[in-house]
Every structure is written in C-alpha cells, then in structure tokens.
Structure 1
C-alpha cells in the first residue's frame, strides 16, 4: 500500500460497552496515520444480561452501532451473530485491514472473510484448548484461518490452537488493557509492618473451576491468620459457604455481590493479595485472567495457579502455586504473612508489569503494528 492513511475496520462485540471494549482504541486519537472504524452490536446478551450499546462519539475511532441477526441465540450468540449493513460499510470505507476481536469459527468471522474484498484480515484469538468443533464451525474456522493475514494471539496456547487448525502466517502477542483511571494504587502501596491478619480476595464468577475452595482448604492448614473476601455471584456460592462452615472458617469468609468497576477497584486495594487458582479441565483453561492486571494496576500482588496463561500474566507481580494443591498454598500464605517486605516488592513489580505491557497505549501499539504488517502483506 502507499503512504496514505491506514484505514481499519475493527469488529468487536465487546465494544457494546464503552467501559468494557472501547477504551483501548482511545490512543488512536493522537495518531494521524490511521483511521479506525469500530463496529459494535446495537444490543447484546451475555451471561443472562441484555445490554444496549453505548452511543458513539468515542475518542480515537468512528463507532458504528449496527443491528445484528440472531441476537437471542443464548451463549451461542458469541459465534452465530452477523451484522446488518456491514457490506455497505466496507464498500464505503474501503479498508486496508479488517480486524476481528472474534474467534475464527464465528459467523461474523466468516461474514467478514466473504465481504472483505482486498482488505487484509487480522484475527485476535483467545481460544486455548484444541478440540474439533461440530459442523459447520470447524469448516468455518479452516476457511477463515486460511484467509487470515495476521494473528493476534492472547497466549502461546491460543497460537498452538490456530496453527493446529491450519494457520501458517505471522503471529503477534496481544494482552488486555487496564483502565488506569479506575484501577490505580493508593498513594502508598502498603505498610511494611507485619499485619495481624492477611486478607486474600477474589473477583469473578463463583464456579467450582475457579479453585476458590483451595483457598479455604489452605486457610484450614495454616496457623497464619488469614481471611478470604469474594466479590461475585454464581452457582458455587452455597458449596463455598458449606465448606467454610465444615472447616470452621465461616467468620473468615465474606461474599459480596457484583460491583461497578470503581467498587471493584476499591475492593482490590483493600487486599493483601488477590487469588486466581483456576483448575484446568478438558473444557476450561484460563485464557488470560483480566482481574490479574486489574489487581496489579491497583498495587495488589496476585497468587495464581499454574493454569493456562496465568503464570505469564502474573510475571514478577505475584506468586505461582501448582493447581489443586492447598498444601503448597498454605505454605505460601504463611510465608507471605511473615514477609511483608516481599509483598511490597511484588506489588511494585506488578505495577511495572502493567506499565510495560498492559496500558491502553501498549495495546494500541500492538494493534497498530499488526494492522500495518497485515496491510503490507495484503
């Protein structure tokens, strides 16, 4: 392509919410070499909630709120929806690149592949478990990957899945960004003095696969004073309360309902460490763990399991324990309680981890580099 401004259409159902999916495009407001058009659904259903798209006017992009077909397909709406008016937008915009924040077997990926014309296709993928999909999804995945110019991958496992299903082009790594206007540390990371009680916390769905029960078992194994606070809802809540009662920990377990991002940030800042101990199963492997970077941006270190992408995301900003191993976790809890200086250093390392790879500026750089590379190949 010539030196004209790079035109990009980015398609992302997560962009239905300004706070959830659009903030990472804001840095493009300060770049005069790219013209970004963001396509989002006019309404979306997810985890039982129906959401109406926030209006446009977002910095860095021209937002197109388009109606979708099959908006009520339950959990399959992530893969079955297509956009009305997308073909017209492509003809009017004449993009050099079409970027999809969607999986390659989705109907919207196939729609973009069929309508893209001369545009280069860039895919951003999360799926990190290799499995054969039922018809027609496996055929769609193969067709889309064969016509993809550049892959943006959330993890090495996600790259493996795409390559195993026929992708052979260039790959770049991309993370999630964190809103540093909301998730930010208190002026001082914390006191170095030993505290009478260690407070651990979790934010997310209360399901068995998240391994919260391992924390309760570890608490019962250690003499270190420790409390566990949870923010979230889910089908495993009753089982967690029952386990805490059986272990004599009822007075040290607190479960609170979902909160807005500001409330979550305040909660995270109140913790000595956040825990994410996902259990890997045939159908579950942690793809990223966005709460990890939210915690680190708040100056709170993370205790993670050796599951999926968790160790890579935590980096130096926390500790990693084996999956399903309460005994190892109990030993770590005792160590952390006895070494407040280490908590302080892990918190500082987590803040540096965010600065280096998970700011919205960093994510915009990763997107921009992949788009330019794809346009050159196309």
Structure 2
C-alpha cells in the first residue's frame, strides 16, 4: 500500500511519546514492504528527506510562531489557537502533497499546526482518512486538559468554543482509533467520531535485547522516574514516595525541566538519596532500576514509559488516571494508585518488593510482548486496507461502544 502519515512532529523533534510511536509505526510499515510518506512540520523551509526507508515531507508551520520554544504573550497564543481551529494555508499545503504522493489512505495523528483542515484536504481528493487521538487536541487547545496544577473540564466554555468546528469535521473521518479506551470514551462522549467505527490500539514499544541487570547495593531498592520534570508529571510525588520509604530506597531521575524548578526540587530534597541523571537512553536507565514510578497528576492518554519499563522487565507503580491503569496488569506488572495518594504508592512499592522478583520480571516481559511494533503495525494495516476497500465500495458502518475492539 501507499500510506501517508501526518503528525505535527517527527524525528529529530520529540516532545512526548507520540513522536516515538509514529516513527515506530512508519518504519514497521516500511519493513513490511509498504510505501510510507510522513507529512510533518518544522521551523525551516519545506524539504524532502529519507529516514530509514520513510519519505519525510517537512512543511513550514503556517501560523504566527513556532509553539515548541519560547514563551509568547497571551494575546499571541490566543491568535495562534484561533488560526489553528481551521487553517486554510495548512490545508493547501497538505492538499498539494497528497496530489504528489497519491496515497491509498491518510493516517492523521497529532494535528496541532495542521488543524482539522487536513481532513478536508484528503476528502476533497477522495483519499480516505483514519485518525488516531494521541492527545486531547480536538477537545481543548492546550492538548492536556490540565493547567495550573489542576484538571480542566472538557465541557468548559473555551473548550466548547474551540472545538465546535473540529467536532463537526470529525464526521468526515472514515475510521477512528484511540491510544486508550479512556481517550476513545472521552472523545465519543464529547460527540466526536460517533458515525464511524472506533477501535483502541495501544502504542508500540521496542522490545529490547535485555541487558544484564545492574544490582543495587545490598539491602537497597532503586526506584526510577523518567520523563519531563514538571508538576503535571508528578515528580514531586516520586520524591515524596522515596522519602516516605526511608533509607533502604534510592531514586534515579532521568529527564530535565525548567532550571528554576529543578533547583527548587534539589534544594527541597537535598538529604534524599537521589541521582539526577539528566537525559539518558532508556536501555541504560531501565536496567539500573528495580521499580518505575509513573505518578502523573494529569490524565495521560496512555503513558508509554509503562510499557517501555515492562519490556525491560521492570514493574511499575503508576497513577490510576487516563490510560495508565489500562496497561498495568494489577499485581503482576505493577499497581495503579490514586495520583495524589502517597500512602498508596508507598504500599504498592512495598508489595512489589515482597513479591518474587524473577517472576515479576517474567510477567512484565510477557505483558509487553503484545505491544511489539510488528503487532501494532499489523493492526493498523488491517484498518488501512479495510478503509481503502470500503472507500471504493461502500461507506464504513458505525459501531456502538459495545463493539469497540481492544487488544
């Protein structure tokens, strides 16, 4: 098949897990013998590149500023988001590339910077569209439904105003996929994609060649945290859990954040046994820890670090919010706890420590194998083929919530 995949960012840009997941999918499809083009944005002029068999069409952002750097004023941000509700310039760019690529299907993912106008660009040329929700962009302009350390309602006035056109245009999509049942339910409850079939396909993770585990000092358990160092990700909860557990525990922190915030954290927890590692490859980080903490305070659409840890044989204690609890096999690959319940996190860590460590590692690795990039690519490919065939034969039939498939 000739497949076009559209995502806001692509390698080397990486803001979150979406960029990793889209790249794994694209390269897996190429490995399967398919022609894959990725349409993405960047800061410079338009260009065409090749990366691991994928043809990359990089388009300049047709908006007021590059949103992934700097701190623009509030009025400028508002204007940016207003244009991003439906961006006709982006539509023209996508339309031109689709005429050039002539794909059998367009798979859209994160749409910030392109807007839902990309769907209409495809529709006008008879290219069927499958869309995967990897964030909350369609529901709220901040994509997270979380700001100022508190959850935001999808029914807020700003959310409703910014989403009215997006919701209307979602009915032109031929197939809807969400990265978790939480994401699917939320979008459909808000009125998106009600007229098309829906499916949950979790993100792929690389299955590593397992390195020899590094042993902690005798009598010490090493906890881990990996990701952005910011309140929404729960880094402070991780530090508090380590403090509550006592001197037999230490914490390895991989990632970075605002320098002032990091300095504050380091001063506040100066007496704790913490290693601030900065950015470190996952294949070096996971073999060095015994348990991963994922204490996200916001409802993460999925939380791919859970699956990455499991693939390395590391159990997880994560927040019972968003898509995280869906990918934790309670008691076998870890535990899900209320995001703000420090006592529950502490108890879950102690429970994992008391279990058979070798058996837990085996459960984690077995669990992660269902999320191989080959398995996930095969599921998407079936959808591409079905959508392409139904587009030429007859419209896809809508399904109710009870018919949604889960892995």
Shorter-chain TM-score range: 0.7 to 0.9
Pair 1:228 & 2:223 matched: no
Pair 1:55 & 2:49 matched: yes
Summarize the Cα distance change of 1:296–1:371 in structure 2 as closer, same or farther, 3 Å threshold.
Answer: same
Pairwise CA distance, 1:368: 0.8
Summarize the Cα distance change of 1:89–1:227 in structure 2 as closer, same or farther, 3 Å threshold.
Answer: same
Q: Distance in 2 between matches of 1:238 and 1:298?
A: 31
**Residue 95 of structure 2 corresponds to which residue in structure 1?**
87
- Superposed, 1:1-378 pairs within 5 Å as 6-17=1-12, 20=20, 21-32=22-33, 34-43=34-43, 55-59=49-53, 61-70=54-63, 72-75=65-68, 80=84, 82=90, 85-103=93-111, 107-116=114-123, 117-127=125-135, 130-132=154-156, 133=158, 137-163=162-188, 164-168=190-194, 169-180=196-207, 183-187=208-212, 195-223=218-246, 225-235=248-258, 236-245=261-270, 250-259=271-280, 263-279=281-297, 284-315=298-329, 316-339=332-355, 341=356, 343-357=357-371, 359-378=372-391
Pairwise CA distance, 1:291: 1.6
**Paired residues of 2:8 and 2:113 also in contact (CA < 8 A):** no
Pairwise CA distance, 1:147: 0.5
**Paired residues of 1:301 and 1:347 also in contact (CA < 8 A):** yes
Q: Distance in 2 between matches of 1:113 and 1:226?
A: 54
SS in 2 for 1:74: coil
**Paired residues of 1:265 and 1:294 also in contact (CA < 8 A):** no
SS in 1 for 2:375: helix
**Paired residues of 1:9 and 1:95 also in contact (CA < 8 A):** yes
Q: TM-score, normalised by structure 1?
A: 0.79
RMSD across aligned C-alpha pairs, in angstroms? 3.2
Q: Distance in 1 between matches of 2:166 and 2:363?
A: 39
Q: Distance in 2 between matches of 1:336 and 1:52?
A: 51
Summarize the Cα distance change of 1:220–1:27 in structure 2 as closer, same or farther, 3 Å threshold.
Answer: closer
Pairwise CA distance, 1:267: 1.7
**Paired residues of 2:3 and 2:104 also in contact (CA < 8 A):** yes
**Paired residues of 2:91 and 2:121 also in contact (CA < 8 A):** no
SS in 1 for 2:27: helix
Summarize the Cα distance change of 1:16–1:139 in structure 2 as closer, same or farther, 3 Å threshold.
Answer: farther
Where do 4+ consecutive residues of structure 1 move more than 6 Å?
A: 51-54, 76-79
Pairwise CA distance, 1:140: 2.8
Pairwise CA distance, 1:165: 2.3
**Paired residues of 2:109 and 2:134 also in contact (CA < 8 A):** no
SS in 2 for 1:66: strand
- The runs of 5 or more residues in structure 2 that have no matched partner are 14-18, 69-76, 137-144, 146-153, 392-407
**Paired residues of 1:199 and 1:228 also in contact (CA < 8 A):** yes
Q: CA offsets per residue over residues 163-207 of structure 1, 9 Å max, x none?
A: 122321111212222233xx44224x677x994100001011111
- The runs of 5 or more residues in structure 1 that have no matched partner are 1-5, 45-50
Q: Distance in 2 between matches of 1:265 and 1:96?
A: 36
SS in 2 for 1:69: coil
SS in 2 for 1:124: strand
